[in-house]
Amino acid sequence: MTKLYNQSSERDKRRSLRNNMPPAEKLLWAKLRSRQVEECKFRRQYSVGPFVVDFYGPALKLVIEVDGDSHIGEDAQTYDADRQVFLQSKGMRVVRFTNQQVYQDLDGVVEAIALLIHDLRSPPLPRGD
């Protein structure tokens, strides 16, 4: 069985990304770390298969991505789409925010994450068949 999470082959990449986080990711990490949002544990620069995600909440299988200028362009959008399909195929929920959203409305981004965490923790309503 192949290991899916934090493969040792991605260790140097994860470390480099953690040590060189873009400013928008640093701002969001300051709000997500230490269970500050809905008591949810997040990890930063966590690898899932061949991909490293910005933030990952393992209890909810929640991936949070902060998209900067490197996500602009047709090749980057194709890569992101393929990556999202892979993550979703592993049962993960992926939510994306732009750098601008983080810079201009950090509290709103954190509130959106908190609402999503709450929704993911809530049991589904019974269907009225």
* Rounded distance between C-alpha atoms, residue 5 and residue 30, angstroms: 23
User: Best-predicted range by mean pLDDT among 5-9, 54-58, 70-74?
Assistant: 54-58
Q: Is residue 71 part of a domain?
A: yes
Q: Is residue 76 part of a domain?
A: yes
Which residue is associated with the tokens 């194709």? 78
Count of structural domains within the chain = 1
Q: Is residue 3 part of a domain?
A: no
pLDDT at 55 over 70: yes
Which residue is associated with the tokens 């480099």? 16
As a three-state string, the secondary structure of the chain is CCCCECCHHHHHHHHHHHHCCCHHHHHHHHHHHHHCCCCCCCEEEEEECCEEEEEEECCCCEEEEEECHHHCCHHHHHHHHHHHHHHHHCCCEEEEEEHHHHHHCHHHHHHHHHHHHHHHHCCCCCCCC
pLDDT band at 1; cut points 50, 70, 90: very low
Greater confidence, 14 or 53?
53
**pTM score, two decimals?**
0.86
pLDDT at 90 over 80: yes
Q: Is residue 87 part of a domain?
A: yes
Q: Is residue 90 part of a domain?
A: yes
pLDDT band at 129; cut points 50, 70, 90: low
Query: pLDDT tens digits for 65-85?
Result: 999 876 566 777 888 889 999
The residue range of the domain holding 74 is: 8-121
How confident is the model at residue 75, as a pLDDT? 76
Give the end-to-end CA distance of the chain in Å, rounded to a whole number.
40
Q: Is residue 128 part of a domain?
A: no
CATH number at residue 33: 3.40.960.10
Q: Is residue 127 part of a domain?
A: no
Share of residues in the chain with pLDDT > 90 (%): 64
Q: Is residue 129 part of a domain?
A: no
Greater confidence, 89 or 128?
89
* Rounded distance between C-alpha atoms, residue 67 and residue 99, angstroms: 6
Count CB atoms within 10 A of the CB of residue 67.
Answer: 19
